[in-house]
Amino acid sequence: MRKPLVVGNWKMHGNLAANAKLLAALAEGWPSSKQADCVVCAPYPYLFQAQALLGSSDVRWGAQSLNAEGQGAFTGEVSGSMLRDFGCKYVIVGHSERRQLYGETNDAVAAKYAAALSHGLEPILCVGETLAQREAGHTEAVVAEQLDAVLLTVGPAGLSKGVLAYEPVWAIGTGKTASPAQAQAVHKFLRGKVAAADVDVANGLRILYGGSVKASNAETLFAQMDIDGGLVGGASLQWDEFLSICLAARPKAKVAS
């Protein structure tokens, strides 16, 4: 069975007072259940708060990026070992905003993925295409290239220790959402590509959809055979909306095909 997973990416949002209310509500509202995983990826300064307020709950927490190096003269950067100090289980790598705004290449993302594994973190690898690339018919080629960089670095075994997230860039923060059929088609392609390297890894790999996921569309998206949960942006900043999305994933555990 692939256990569904919903990850909230706060991006550069939050403050101590608002975070406290959100985290407390999630900790109280998320049931003790093994049916799905609920995760919050907070900005670095608030990881201590997530650890303090979620530590006794079944909601897990993680970070939004990390440096590929373990330590050194890298002003402003954060290592995987630092994230582990704050109890992080997950870390996002290769988000489209990191690729577009900070010039992270496929090779750089692969190095971060490997670094996350070396520190006992579960990396959430983001792949996705722009609107121009989709309209040009290049979606599969783009996501394949992004995925290949990681497969070449850590192999199928390394991929099995992480999570894959398909996030069409044109649907992030725009209010536009890939239709369930569009999202499923790319997820199926990604799983098939992994299967070409290792069928067992492909069958067990959790692949999330990210792109304007809301409570109103979560259930329909999560019902797709190859969609195993969501990577949620803006909606994760509203505890009731995010909790509803997490709850929508619970009945959707899927048998590996």
- Indicate the SS3 state at residue 208: strand
Q: What is the pLDDT of residue 57?
A: 96
Query: Annotated active-site positions, please?
Result: 95, 167
Q: Tens digit of pLDDT for each residue in 78-111?
A: 999 999 999 999 999 999 999 999 999 999 999 9
How far is it, in rounded angstroms, from Cα 109 to Cα 65? Answer: 10
User: Can you say whether the dihedral through the CA atoms of 51, 53, 55, 60 is positive or negative?
Assistant: negative
Q: Hey, how many other C-beta atoms are within 10 angstroms of the C-beta on 39?
A: 27
pLDDT in tens, the chain (257 residues): 799 999 999 999 999 999 999 999 999 999 876 789 999 999 999 999 999 999 999 999 999 999 999 999 999 999 999 999 999 999 999 999 999 999 999 999 999 999 999 999 999 999 999 989 998 999 999 999 999 999 999 999 999 999 999 999 988 777 777 899 999 999 999 999 999 999 999 999 999 999 889 999 999 999 999 999 999 999 999 999 999 999 999 865 565 55
Q: What is the pLDDT of residue 1?
A: 79
How far is it, in rounded angstroms, from Cα 155 to Cα 111? Answer: 13
Q: What is the pLDDT of residue 255?
A: 56
Q: What is the pLDDT of residue 219?
A: 95
CA dihedral 181, 183, 187, 188 (to 10 degrees): 10
Q: What is the pLDDT of residue 256?
A: 57
